[in-house]
Amino acid sequence: MEAIRIRATLYSMAIVLILVAFFSYSIFKDKKRVLEEKTSSHRELLKNAFELSVSDTEKGLNHFAYDMMTDCSIISAFESGDRQKLYLLALPYFTKAHQEGNVDLTGFINADGTHFLRLQDPKKFGDNLLKKRPMIAEAIRTHRPIVSLDVTLYNISLVKIIPIFKNKKFLGVLNIATKIQRVQERLNSYSAIKSAIAIHSDTLKKLLPTSHLTQYHSYSIVSDNDPLFQHLPTDYNFAYSMRHTINGHTYIVASRELLTYTDKPLAKMICALDITNDERIYHDELRRLILISLILLVLLVVILHIGFKKLISRIHKESSQLNQKLQHQLYHDSLTKLPNRKSLIKKLEKQRYYAIILLNIDNFKEMNDLYGHEIGDKILQSLGHSIESIIAPYPLVLFKMPSDEYALALLEEMDDRKFDTICQTIMDQLHTLNYNIEGITILMTLSMGADMCSDPECDKISRADMALKTAKKRGVSFVKYNDNLLIKEQYHNNILWSKKLKDAIDDQRFELYYQGIHHTQTKEIYEYEALIRIIDEDGVIISPAAFLDIAKKSRLYPYITDFVIHRIFHQLRSTDHHYSINFSVDDILNLKTQTLLFELLAQYPIGDRLVFEILESEGIENYEEVSAFIARAKTFGCKIAIDDFGTGYSNFSHILRLNVDFIKIDGSLIKNIATDKGAEDIVKTIIDFTHRLGIKTVAEFVSSKEIYDVCKELKIDYLQGYYLSQPRPL
């Protein structure tokens, strides 16, 4: 027996030793992988933080430039040569931007290259910068904005030069700059990244012949915000992101090329991120691992056969409990403790449910945004309790689906009428409830979709989901699935068009067609409206009605707007015609779209031949943003038209509040104007109202001579339609 006990003990010890060694090795590999992943993410952080800091610094320059250039009094003072007035007007902008850390230097430079005013040093002016500053000379020569890094005897700065025009007259340029230290400060504040500036030694000798700076390879460090850069290893190489130990700390050190506006290397920014704590945690965990392993090995000496058996038994028991806990977490919602979607699907495989009902809270996202996620979670918990209470008399089981959705499963077979009554009763009772959560009274409505199918093979969840989406779309509280719902077909159509649209973008198969807008009396073309088309792979021309809604839903719409803007500016530069383009409220609210548009308008003085048609039927609710866009566009000579006026959200107050030049009367009125007295009366009212305000009118859908004659008699200013001309490429 003793030999058996000893043998069993030895076997047990051997098994445990193997397990300890295996798990120790696994943990060691896992810790090593975690450290490597952290290091990799730190390298990515260095890159992203640098780009973000440069972007934020440039954004600060852009905001300051925008504030200055949109103040007409500043432009007028510069034009008149009133230095004192210009200084008094511009100084508050400069002081604010400087205090916010966005701008360090600002100067107005005349068209001949002489410094007119330095806001930071107003007593110094008159020196000519054309030979000293090639970047300023280039901006004055080309009348184009330039953003670049620049180096002087004193510092490296991010410089933005903006041409100044008034009434198409070039006055000079605005030169604004912020020191590269601002980028370094942002790097430090965002991600605790230390940085230094290194300049090629040959360049540095030209600027500072007597400098005695630390040199690494062919570069010398000229400024830093931490002493660690004075202790870089002698083998430090700017070309690679490396890991270095400096003064007992471990750093990820990487360099980023700083380029001028001509893409010539100017300097390098060395960025360093301290990862000492990660290294320390890694080594501490390894030490703890080794210590624990040793303790386990010592304990093995006192482990007897019975003790080892009990240990195994305990491990088995705890594993079972953990598995039960994991199983519960896997099949139950962590917030409401209700069975979840996975539980419903699993039970559907083993148990027959005669119907599935889906409940969804209307506008739950807005509740979360308004009250916060903590209140939102309490709403979900309270609603779950309410549903459980309401369905208690019925053969229904409650499940918590993802997000703000619940599911009810019917356990018994019943006729359609009784089922519909139960569904309506549940909805009626839910809509009478309100919740007082932390002193806030919350009323909510829900939408319900249901499917009752006698075939066990029916996908009741998907069909109930289709019914729910139909209820949402129709604005009703309850829809039961039937075969007339075409949601699958709609999904398929949306996916198909999303792919066709993406392919058209990738293959550059967009084209602009142009339809003439004619003088009513002479029928001569006044301007062309640009209309987007897709040229399908088989050569078929596809109109925007087929793809614009899908473009907006799939977030591809900005690519289309970008194409239209670039193409219409090409037409404006290559022809002398006037053009109009459709511009939605979404386009106006898109900062990238606005930036592209106004940069091109500033670059090419052709805005007086461009009209923006703002779609009125979408609802003009963002008056401040729309008004600001209109005002800025008009500074470039552009004109504004309200499109589709007379239907949808039509409101004469839009015209009074927005400074527009044209009203395009909706085609649904014009196409019936020769046969519908009501349509004619509405058009007369619009014409009388707009002509009193001095606004020109345009009639769309002029498709016949009869419609043309009525429009001419009503004195509509311009006409557009197939009777006069069809859309075609130019």
Q: Where are the alpha helices (DSSP H) in 70-156?
A: 72-80, 83-99, 134-142
Which CATH number characterizes residue 428's domain? 3.30.70.270
Q: Which residue has the higher pLDDT, 63 or 258?
A: 63
Same domain, 219 and 360: no
Same domain, 524 and 441: no
- Of 431, 455, 485, which residue is a domain's last? 485
Do the domain assignments include residue 15?
no
Per-residue confidence band for 553, with pLDDT thresholds at 50, 70 and 90: confident
Do the domain assignments include residue 544?
yes
Q: What is the pLDDT of residue 640?
A: 94
Do the domain assignments include residue 669?
yes
Per-residue confidence band for 384, with pLDDT thresholds at 50, 70 and 90: very high
- For residues 356 and 467, the answer to whether their CB atoms sit within 8 Å is no
pLDDT in tens, 108-133: 999 999 999 999 889 889 899 888 88
Same domain, 100 and 172: yes
The radius of gyration computed from the CA coordinates of the chain, to the nearest angstrom, equals 36
Query: In 3D, which of 33, 31, 49 has the Cα closest to residue 252?
Result: 49
Instruction: Say which residues have a Cβ less than 8 Å from residue 72's Cβ, sequence separation at least 6.
Output: none
Tokens of 573: 């530069």
Q: How far apart are the first and last CA of the chain?
A: 103
- Is pLDDT at 177 greater than 70 in this prediction? yes
- Is pLDDT at 10 greater than 80 in this prediction? no
Mean pLDDT of the chain: 83
Per-residue confidence band for 592, with pLDDT thresholds at 50, 70 and 90: very high
- Of 287, 304, 330, which residue is a domain's last? 287
Phi-psi region of 572 (alpha: psi -120 to 50; beta: other; left: phi over 0): alpha
Q: Which residue has the higher pLDDT, 508 or 211?
A: 508
pLDDT in tens, 409-426: 998 888 988 998 999 899
**Above pLDDT 90, what percent of the chain?**
35
- For residues 78 and 170, the answer to whether their CB atoms sit within 8 Å is no
User: How many domains are contained in the chain?
Assistant: 3
Q: What is the pLDDT of residue 285?
A: 79
Looking at mean pLDDT, say which of 323-332, 351-360, 489-498 comes out highest: 351-360
Domain range holding 201? 45-287
Do the domain assignments include residue 33?
no
Q: What is the pLDDT of residue 471?
A: 84
Same domain, 498 and 377: no
pLDDT in tens, 423-435: 989 988 988 888 8
Instruction: Say which residues have a Cβ less than 8 Å from residue 589's Cβ, sequence separation at least 6.
Output: 622, 625
- For residues 265 and 246, the answer to whether their CB atoms sit within 8 Å is no
Per-residue confidence band for 5, with pLDDT thresholds at 50, 70 and 90: low
Q: What is the pLDDT of residue 453?
A: 82
Per-residue confidence band for 480, with pLDDT thresholds at 50, 70 and 90: confident
Burial class of 616 by CB neighbour count within 10 A (0 to 12, 13 to 18, 19+): buried
- Is pLDDT at 648 greater than 50 in this prediction? no
Lowest pLDDT segment from 147-161, 589-603, 678-692: 147-161
| Rounded CA separation 200/264 (Å) | 12
Do the domain assignments include residue 76?
yes
| Rounded CA separation 165/76 (Å) | 10
- Is pLDDT at 383 greater than 50 in this prediction? yes
**Above pLDDT 70, what percent of the chain?**
86
pLDDT in tens, 207-226: 665 555 666 667 777 777 77
Q: What is the pLDDT of residue 649?
A: 42
Per-residue confidence band for 80, with pLDDT thresholds at 50, 70 and 90: very high
Query: In 3D, which of 454, 53, 517 has the Cα closest to residue 256?
Result: 53
Q: What is the mean pLDDT of residues 175-191?
A: 84
- Of 466, 485, 504, which residue is a domain's last? 485
Q: Is 410 helix (H, G, I), strand (E, B) or coil?
A: strand
Same domain, 587 and 706: yes
Same domain, 475 and 537: no
Same domain, 76 and 218: yes
- For residues 613 and 643, the answer to whether their CB atoms sit within 8 Å is yes
Q: Where are the alpha helices (DSSP H) in 357-415?
A: 364-371, 373-390
- What is the 8-class DSSP label of residue 604? S
- Single pTM value for the model: 0.40
Q: Edge-to-edge strand order for the sheet containing 478-480?
A: 396-400, 405-410, 355-361, 446-452, 478-480
Lowest pLDDT segment from 146-160, 235-249, 465-479: 235-249
Per-residue confidence band for 525, with pLDDT thresholds at 50, 70 and 90: very high
Same domain, 503 and 477: no
Q: Which residue has the higher pLDDT, 383 or 474?
A: 383
Same domain, 425 and 540: no
Q: What is the pLDDT of residue 490?
A: 55
Q: What is the pLDDT of residue 495?
A: 67
Q: What is the mean pLDDT of residues 660-668?
A: 90
- Is pLDDT at 16 greater than 90 in this prediction? no
Q: What is the mean pLDDT of residues 644-662?
A: 72
Do the domain assignments include residue 240?
yes
Which CATH number characterizes residue 69's domain? 3.30.450.20
- Is pLDDT at 613 greater than 80 in this prediction? yes
Q: What is the pLDDT of residue 9?
A: 66
pLDDT in tens, 291-309: 787 786 677 657 655 765 6
Same domain, 567 and 641: yes
Do the domain assignments include residue 28?
no
Q: What is the pLDDT of residue 650?
A: 47
Q: Which residue has the higher pLDDT, 375 or 505?
A: 375
Q: What is the pLDDT of residue 38?
A: 66
Any long-range contacts for 506-511 (C-beta under 8 Å, 24+ apart)? Answer: 507/537, 509/534, 509/535, 509/536, 509/537, 510/534, 510/535, 510/560, 510/563, 511/535, 511/729
Tokens of 55: 């972007």
Do the domain assignments include residue 321?
no
Same domain, 436 and 537: no
DSSP per position, 155-198: -EEEEEEEEEEETTEEEEEEEEEEEHHHHHHHHHHHH-EEEEEE
Same domain, 110 and 136: yes
Q: What is the pLDDT of residue 269?
A: 80
| Rounded CA separation 128/134 (Å) | 12
Query: In 3D, which of 220, 181, 197 has the Cα closest to residue 271?
Result: 197
Q: What Cα–Cα distance (Å) separates residue 628 from each residue in 314, 619, 631, 639? A: 72, 17, 5, 14
Q: What Cα–Cα distance (Å) separates residue 373 from each residue in 376, 381, 588? A: 5, 12, 31
